[in-house]
Amino acid sequence: MFSENKVGMSPDRLVNLVCNRLLNQPIEDRPSKITEPRKDGKPFNLNDYDIHKFNPQDRETQKRFYPYFKFRGIDLYTQYAFHRHFCLATKHRTDGLTFANLAFPLVLPKTPDKTVGFEERGASASEAVSLIEEARGSSTRLYTLGGGSNILVQDGLLNAGVISSAALDSLDIREDGGAVSVEAGAGVQVRKMLALALERGLGGLAFLTGIPGTIGGALYGNAGAAGESFAPLVEWIETVSHAGELRRWQRGDLSWQYRESPWREPPLLITKALFRLFYEQKDNIIKNIRHFAELKKGQPIGAKTAGCVFKNPPGEAAGRLLEQCGCKELSVGGARVSQRHANFIENHGCARAEDIYNLTRMCQKRVYEEFGIKLAYEIKFFGAF
Protein backbone atom coordinates (compact mmCIF):
# COMPACT_ATOMS: atom_id res chain seq x y z
CA MET A 1 0.00 0.00 0.00
CA PHE A 2 2.84 2.40 0.84
CA SER A 3 5.85 2.85 -1.41
CA GLU A 4 8.12 3.14 1.65
CA ASN A 5 7.29 -0.38 2.85
CA LYS A 6 10.07 -2.97 2.57
CA VAL A 7 10.32 -6.58 3.62
CA GLY A 8 11.28 -6.83 7.27
CA MET A 9 10.59 -3.17 8.05
CA SER A 10 9.12 -2.51 11.49
CA PRO A 11 5.68 -0.82 11.69
CA ASP A 12 7.21 2.10 13.60
CA ARG A 13 9.79 2.71 10.89
CA LEU A 14 7.10 2.60 8.21
CA VAL A 15 4.89 5.09 10.09
CA ASN A 16 7.85 7.47 10.51
CA LEU A 17 8.70 7.39 6.81
CA VAL A 18 5.10 7.87 5.64
CA CYS A 19 4.41 10.71 8.09
CA ASN A 20 7.57 12.55 7.12
CA ARG A 21 6.71 12.24 3.43
CA LEU A 22 3.25 13.66 4.06
CA LEU A 23 4.77 16.49 6.09
CA ASN A 24 7.36 17.14 3.38
CA GLN A 25 10.18 16.29 5.77
CA PRO A 26 12.22 13.71 3.85
CA ILE A 27 14.53 11.41 5.73
CA GLU A 28 17.69 10.08 4.16
CA ASP A 29 16.95 6.51 3.19
CA ARG A 30 18.97 3.80 4.87
CA PRO A 31 18.84 0.03 4.91
CA SER A 32 16.45 -1.52 7.40
CA LYS A 33 18.28 -3.32 10.16
CA ILE A 34 16.57 -6.38 11.56
CA THR A 35 17.99 -7.48 14.89
CA GLU A 36 17.41 -11.14 15.63
CA PRO A 37 18.34 -12.93 18.85
CA ARG A 38 21.75 -14.57 18.83
CA LYS A 39 21.55 -18.32 18.40
CA ASP A 40 25.10 -19.08 19.47
CA GLY A 41 24.70 -18.01 23.11
CA LYS A 42 23.97 -20.50 25.87
CA PRO A 43 20.46 -19.98 27.33
CA PHE A 44 20.06 -19.14 31.01
CA ASN A 45 20.08 -22.19 33.25
CA LEU A 46 19.58 -21.80 37.00
CA ASN A 47 21.48 -25.06 37.53
CA ASP A 48 24.68 -23.33 36.35
CA TYR A 49 24.70 -21.33 39.60
CA ASP A 50 25.17 -22.03 43.30
CA ILE A 51 22.65 -19.82 45.13
CA HIS A 52 23.37 -18.40 48.58
CA LYS A 53 20.37 -16.78 50.25
CA PHE A 54 20.14 -14.18 53.01
CA ASN A 55 18.43 -15.62 56.11
CA PRO A 56 17.26 -13.00 58.63
CA GLN A 57 17.43 -15.62 61.42
CA ASP A 58 20.94 -16.85 60.60
CA ARG A 59 23.83 -14.41 61.10
CA GLU A 60 26.29 -16.69 59.30
CA THR A 61 24.35 -16.49 56.03
CA GLN A 62 24.40 -12.68 56.25
CA LYS A 63 28.18 -12.26 56.50
CA ARG A 64 28.85 -13.05 52.83
CA PHE A 65 26.66 -10.10 51.77
CA TYR A 66 28.63 -7.57 53.83
CA PRO A 67 31.18 -6.50 51.15
CA TYR A 68 28.41 -6.06 48.57
CA PHE A 69 26.22 -3.82 50.69
CA LYS A 70 28.74 -1.88 52.80
CA PHE A 71 29.99 0.47 50.07
CA ARG A 72 26.43 0.96 48.79
CA GLY A 73 25.36 2.36 52.16
CA ILE A 74 22.57 -0.22 52.61
CA ASP A 75 22.09 -1.10 56.29
CA LEU A 76 21.21 -4.47 57.77
CA TYR A 77 17.57 -3.56 58.43
CA THR A 78 17.04 -2.75 54.75
CA GLN A 79 18.59 -6.10 53.87
CA TYR A 80 16.13 -7.79 56.25
CA ALA A 81 13.19 -6.04 54.56
CA PHE A 82 14.15 -7.03 50.99
CA HIS A 83 15.99 -10.31 51.55
CA ARG A 84 13.57 -12.26 49.34
CA HIS A 85 14.58 -10.20 46.31
CA PHE A 86 18.34 -10.81 46.20
CA CYS A 87 20.92 -13.56 46.60
CA LEU A 88 24.54 -14.37 45.85
CA ALA A 89 24.89 -16.30 42.60
CA THR A 90 28.13 -18.21 41.99
CA LYS A 91 28.73 -19.23 38.37
CA HIS A 92 30.84 -22.24 37.46
CA ARG A 93 32.71 -21.80 34.19
CA THR A 94 33.93 -24.44 31.81
CA ASP A 95 37.58 -23.52 32.57
CA GLY A 96 37.08 -24.46 36.24
CA LEU A 97 36.98 -20.90 37.57
CA THR A 98 34.06 -19.49 39.55
CA PHE A 99 32.87 -15.98 40.34
CA ALA A 100 30.13 -14.69 42.61
CA ASN A 101 27.94 -11.61 42.26
CA LEU A 102 25.08 -10.00 44.08
CA ALA A 103 22.13 -11.13 41.97
CA PHE A 104 18.52 -10.04 41.60
CA PRO A 105 16.32 -12.80 40.13
CA LEU A 106 14.30 -11.85 37.05
CA VAL A 107 10.82 -13.33 36.66
CA LEU A 108 7.88 -13.07 34.28
CA PRO A 109 4.48 -11.77 35.50
CA LYS A 110 2.69 -15.04 34.75
CA THR A 111 5.34 -17.21 36.43
CA PRO A 112 6.58 -15.24 39.48
CA ASP A 113 8.09 -18.36 41.07
CA LYS A 114 10.30 -19.19 38.07
CA THR A 115 13.67 -17.42 37.70
CA VAL A 116 14.40 -16.69 34.03
CA GLY A 117 17.60 -14.68 34.52
CA PHE A 118 19.74 -12.64 36.89
CA GLU A 119 20.65 -8.99 37.10
CA GLU A 120 24.14 -9.32 38.56
CA ARG A 121 26.12 -6.63 40.34
CA GLY A 122 29.77 -6.98 41.26
CA ALA A 123 31.92 -4.76 43.42
CA SER A 124 35.38 -4.74 41.84
CA ALA A 125 37.32 -4.58 38.59
CA SER A 126 38.25 -8.25 38.89
CA GLU A 127 34.57 -9.18 38.86
CA ALA A 128 34.10 -7.07 35.74
CA VAL A 129 36.93 -9.02 34.10
CA SER A 130 35.17 -12.29 34.93
CA LEU A 131 31.92 -11.06 33.41
CA ILE A 132 33.67 -9.92 30.23
CA GLU A 133 35.41 -13.26 29.85
CA GLU A 134 32.08 -15.03 30.36
CA ALA A 135 30.43 -12.87 27.69
CA ARG A 136 33.23 -13.56 25.22
CA GLY A 137 32.74 -17.28 25.73
CA SER A 138 29.07 -16.99 24.76
CA SER A 139 29.58 -14.45 21.92
CA THR A 140 27.46 -11.87 23.75
CA ARG A 141 27.90 -8.24 22.70
CA LEU A 142 28.72 -5.93 25.60
CA TYR A 143 28.03 -2.27 26.28
CA THR A 144 29.29 -0.18 29.19
CA LEU A 145 26.89 2.13 31.01
CA GLY A 146 27.95 5.03 33.21
CA GLY A 147 25.25 7.50 34.15
CA GLY A 148 23.37 6.98 30.86
CA SER A 149 23.18 10.73 30.23
CA ASN A 150 24.58 10.69 26.68
CA ILE A 151 23.15 7.39 25.43
CA LEU A 152 20.41 6.46 22.94
CA VAL A 153 19.16 2.87 23.31
CA GLN A 154 17.31 1.10 20.51
CA ASP A 155 13.58 0.42 20.79
CA GLY A 156 12.48 -3.00 21.99
CA LEU A 157 14.75 -5.74 23.26
CA LEU A 158 18.49 -5.01 23.42
CA ASN A 159 20.06 -8.40 22.79
CA ALA A 160 23.32 -7.68 24.59
CA GLY A 161 25.00 -7.51 27.97
CA VAL A 162 25.31 -4.16 29.74
CA ILE A 163 28.04 -3.58 32.32
CA SER A 164 27.16 -0.79 34.75
CA SER A 165 29.97 1.03 36.56
CA ALA A 166 27.61 2.20 39.33
CA ALA A 167 29.20 -0.12 41.91
CA LEU A 168 32.69 1.31 41.26
CA ASP A 169 32.01 4.46 43.27
CA SER A 170 34.87 4.62 45.78
CA LEU A 171 36.74 7.86 46.53
CA ASP A 172 40.20 7.91 48.12
CA ILE A 173 41.84 11.26 48.94
CA ARG A 174 45.54 11.64 49.78
CA GLU A 175 47.46 14.83 50.55
CA ASP A 176 50.95 15.25 49.10
CA GLY A 177 52.60 18.54 49.99
CA GLY A 178 50.75 21.35 48.27
CA ALA A 179 48.74 19.00 46.07
CA VAL A 180 46.03 16.41 46.58
CA SER A 181 45.61 13.06 44.84
CA VAL A 182 42.05 11.82 44.40
CA GLU A 183 41.50 8.22 43.30
CA ALA A 184 37.96 7.97 41.97
CA GLY A 185 36.03 4.93 40.81
CA ALA A 186 34.40 5.13 37.38
CA GLY A 187 30.94 5.06 38.95
CA VAL A 188 31.42 8.20 41.04
CA GLN A 189 28.84 10.81 40.06
CA VAL A 190 30.33 13.92 38.43
CA ARG A 191 28.33 16.17 40.78
CA LYS A 192 29.82 14.29 43.77
CA MET A 193 33.34 15.02 42.50
CA LEU A 194 32.48 18.69 42.09
CA ALA A 195 30.97 18.83 45.59
CA LEU A 196 34.16 17.26 46.98
CA ALA A 197 36.25 19.92 45.25
CA LEU A 198 34.17 22.70 46.78
CA GLU A 199 34.20 21.12 50.25
CA ARG A 200 37.98 20.52 50.30
CA GLY A 201 38.98 23.68 48.40
CA LEU A 202 40.36 21.86 45.36
CA GLY A 203 40.78 23.73 42.08
CA GLY A 204 40.64 22.58 38.48
CA LEU A 205 37.22 20.87 38.46
CA ALA A 206 34.83 23.82 38.02
CA PHE A 207 34.37 22.85 34.36
CA LEU A 208 32.28 19.89 35.60
CA THR A 209 29.46 22.28 36.51
CA GLY A 210 26.25 21.14 34.87
CA ILE A 211 27.82 17.99 33.36
CA PRO A 212 25.72 14.91 34.27
CA GLY A 213 26.76 11.28 34.49
CA THR A 214 29.76 9.53 36.01
CA ILE A 215 33.50 10.06 36.11
CA GLY A 216 34.05 7.02 33.88
CA GLY A 217 31.72 8.33 31.19
CA ALA A 218 33.19 11.83 31.43
CA LEU A 219 36.71 10.45 30.98
CA TYR A 220 35.69 8.16 28.11
CA GLY A 221 34.22 11.06 26.11
CA ASN A 222 36.70 13.67 27.40
CA ALA A 223 33.85 15.82 28.73
CA GLY A 224 34.58 19.47 29.34
CA ALA A 225 33.55 23.07 28.79
CA ALA A 226 35.11 26.24 27.40
CA GLY A 227 38.34 24.45 26.49
CA GLU A 228 38.85 22.87 29.94
CA SER A 229 38.80 19.13 30.63
CA PHE A 230 40.38 16.33 32.66
CA ALA A 231 43.48 16.16 30.43
CA PRO A 232 45.93 18.11 32.65
CA LEU A 233 44.62 16.53 35.86
CA VAL A 234 44.83 12.79 35.13
CA GLU A 235 47.81 10.82 36.43
CA TRP A 236 46.56 7.39 35.35
CA ILE A 237 43.42 5.55 34.27
CA GLU A 238 42.70 1.87 34.90
CA THR A 239 40.70 0.03 32.23
CA VAL A 240 39.47 -3.38 31.14
CA SER A 241 39.88 -4.22 27.45
CA HIS A 242 37.39 -6.05 25.22
CA ALA A 243 39.55 -9.14 25.78
CA GLY A 244 39.15 -8.83 29.57
CA GLU A 245 42.68 -7.51 30.23
CA LEU A 246 43.16 -5.14 33.17
CA ARG A 247 45.64 -2.31 32.48
CA ARG A 248 46.73 0.97 34.06
CA TRP A 249 47.49 3.77 31.57
CA GLN A 250 49.92 6.46 32.72
CA ARG A 251 49.64 10.12 31.73
CA GLY A 252 52.07 9.68 28.83
CA ASP A 253 50.03 6.80 27.39
CA LEU A 254 46.94 8.97 26.90
CA SER A 255 46.27 11.13 23.84
CA TRP A 256 43.58 13.71 24.62
CA GLN A 257 41.50 15.24 21.85
CA TYR A 258 38.25 17.20 21.78
CA ARG A 259 35.35 14.97 22.90
CA GLU A 260 37.29 11.85 22.00
CA SER A 261 38.42 8.84 23.97
CA PRO A 262 42.14 9.23 24.86
CA TRP A 263 42.94 5.81 23.36
CA ARG A 264 43.58 4.80 19.77
CA GLU A 265 41.61 1.62 20.48
CA PRO A 266 39.18 2.46 23.29
CA PRO A 267 38.81 -0.09 26.12
CA LEU A 268 35.48 -1.63 27.05
CA LEU A 269 35.40 -0.33 30.62
CA ILE A 270 37.07 2.32 32.77
CA THR A 271 37.35 1.16 36.39
CA LYS A 272 39.05 4.08 38.15
CA ALA A 273 41.43 7.00 37.73
CA LEU A 274 43.86 9.11 39.76
CA PHE A 275 43.60 12.91 39.59
CA ARG A 276 46.26 15.35 40.72
CA LEU A 277 44.51 18.46 42.04
CA PHE A 278 45.66 21.66 43.74
CA TYR A 279 44.37 23.80 46.57
CA GLU A 280 42.49 26.96 45.67
CA GLN A 281 40.57 29.61 47.59
CA LYS A 282 36.90 28.65 47.91
CA ASP A 283 35.86 32.11 46.72
CA ASN A 284 37.72 31.48 43.44
CA ILE A 285 36.17 28.02 43.08
CA ILE A 286 32.67 29.43 43.57
CA LYS A 287 33.43 32.20 41.06
CA ASN A 288 34.55 29.61 38.48
CA ILE A 289 31.51 27.41 39.14
CA ARG A 290 29.23 30.40 38.55
CA HIS A 291 31.10 31.15 35.32
CA PHE A 292 30.53 27.64 33.94
CA ALA A 293 26.92 27.67 35.17
CA GLU A 294 26.36 30.83 33.10
CA LEU A 295 27.62 29.00 30.02
CA LYS A 296 24.93 26.34 30.53
CA LYS A 297 22.04 28.82 30.75
CA GLY A 298 21.19 28.47 27.07
CA GLN A 299 20.80 24.69 27.37
CA PRO A 300 17.47 22.93 28.04
CA ILE A 301 18.26 22.03 31.65
CA GLY A 302 15.53 19.80 33.08
CA ALA A 303 14.21 18.65 29.68
CA LYS A 304 14.35 14.99 28.62
CA THR A 305 17.41 14.90 26.39
CA ALA A 306 20.49 12.74 25.84
CA GLY A 307 22.80 15.75 26.04
CA CYS A 308 24.52 17.36 23.09
CA VAL A 309 23.75 15.37 19.95
CA PHE A 310 26.74 16.47 17.84
CA LYS A 311 30.32 17.49 18.48
CA ASN A 312 31.38 21.01 17.59
CA PRO A 313 33.31 21.02 14.27
CA PRO A 314 36.71 22.76 14.34
CA GLY A 315 36.19 26.51 14.67
CA GLU A 316 32.39 26.18 14.68
CA ALA A 317 29.51 25.57 17.08
CA ALA A 318 27.16 22.75 16.14
CA GLY A 319 24.21 24.51 17.79
CA ARG A 320 24.73 27.65 15.69
CA LEU A 321 24.97 25.69 12.43
CA LEU A 322 21.83 23.72 13.26
CA GLU A 323 19.89 26.86 14.14
CA GLN A 324 20.96 28.66 10.96
CA CYS A 325 19.64 25.71 8.94
CA GLY A 326 16.21 26.04 10.55
CA CYS A 327 16.50 22.80 12.50
CA LYS A 328 14.58 24.24 15.45
CA GLU A 329 11.46 23.80 13.31
CA LEU A 330 11.95 20.03 13.02
CA SER A 331 10.26 17.21 14.90
CA VAL A 332 9.59 13.50 14.38
CA GLY A 333 6.95 11.75 16.46
CA GLY A 334 7.50 12.81 20.07
CA ALA A 335 11.05 14.03 19.37
CA ARG A 336 11.64 17.72 18.81
CA VAL A 337 14.72 19.92 18.35
CA SER A 338 15.02 22.09 21.45
CA GLN A 339 13.89 25.68 21.08
CA ARG A 340 16.52 26.74 23.61
CA HIS A 341 19.53 25.06 21.96
CA ALA A 342 19.46 23.37 18.55
CA ASN A 343 22.10 20.79 19.51
CA PHE A 344 19.66 19.10 21.89
CA ILE A 345 16.69 16.88 21.03
CA GLU A 346 13.87 16.76 23.55
CA ASN A 347 11.55 13.86 24.21
CA HIS A 348 8.09 15.30 24.74
CA GLY A 349 6.72 12.15 26.32
CA CYS A 350 6.15 9.63 23.54
CA ALA A 351 9.30 9.64 21.40
CA ARG A 352 10.84 6.34 20.37
CA ALA A 353 14.55 5.88 19.80
CA GLU A 354 13.75 5.58 16.08
CA ASP A 355 12.10 9.03 16.17
CA ILE A 356 15.11 10.60 17.82
CA TYR A 357 17.57 8.93 15.48
CA ASN A 358 15.62 9.96 12.38
CA LEU A 359 15.49 13.53 13.63
CA THR A 360 19.27 13.59 14.15
CA ARG A 361 19.74 12.38 10.56
CA MET A 362 17.48 15.13 9.24
CA CYS A 363 19.50 17.73 11.15
CA GLN A 364 22.77 16.23 9.96
CA LYS A 365 21.57 16.33 6.37
CA ARG A 366 20.48 19.97 6.54
CA VAL A 367 23.83 21.14 7.89
CA TYR A 368 25.73 19.18 5.24
CA GLU A 369 23.59 20.57 2.41
CA GLU A 370 23.90 24.14 3.70
CA PHE A 371 27.55 24.27 4.86
CA GLY A 372 29.22 21.12 3.52
CA ILE A 373 30.01 20.04 7.08
CA LYS A 374 29.13 16.54 8.30
CA LEU A 375 28.44 16.74 12.02
CA ALA A 376 29.88 13.88 14.07
CA TYR A 377 27.78 12.34 16.83
CA GLU A 378 28.63 13.06 20.45
CA ILE A 379 25.91 10.77 21.79
CA LYS A 380 26.57 7.03 21.90
CA PHE A 381 24.23 4.36 20.51
CA PHE A 382 23.28 1.06 22.11
CA GLY A 383 21.85 -1.44 19.62
CA ALA A 384 20.93 -1.27 15.93
CA PHE A 385 20.56 2.15 14.31
| Catalytic residue list | 259, 308, 378
Residue 124: its H or E element:
none
- Distance in angstroms (rounded) separating the CA atoms of residues 65 and 83: 11
Q: At residue 333, what is the residue type?
A: G
- Give the separation between CA 290 and CA 296, rounded to whole angstroms: 10
- Amino acid residing at 197: A
What values do phi and psi take at 189, rounded to 5?
-65, 140
Which residues have a Cβ under 8 Å from the Cβ of 99 and sit 6 or more positions away? 90, 91, 93, 122, 127, 130, 131, 134
**Pairing of the two strands 142-145 and 161-164:** parallel
For residue 70, give every residue at least 6 positions away whose Cβ sits within 8 Å of its Cβ, in sequence order, or none: none
The Cα–Cα gap between 254 and 270 comes to 13
* DSSP category for residue 324: H
Q: In sequence order, what DSSP letters do the residues of 31-51 get, joined into one string? A: --------SSSPPP-GGGEEE
Note whether 309 and 378 are within 8 A (CB): yes
Q: Is 64 helix (H, G, I), strand (E, B) or coil?
A: coil
Helix (H) or strand (E) holding 258: none
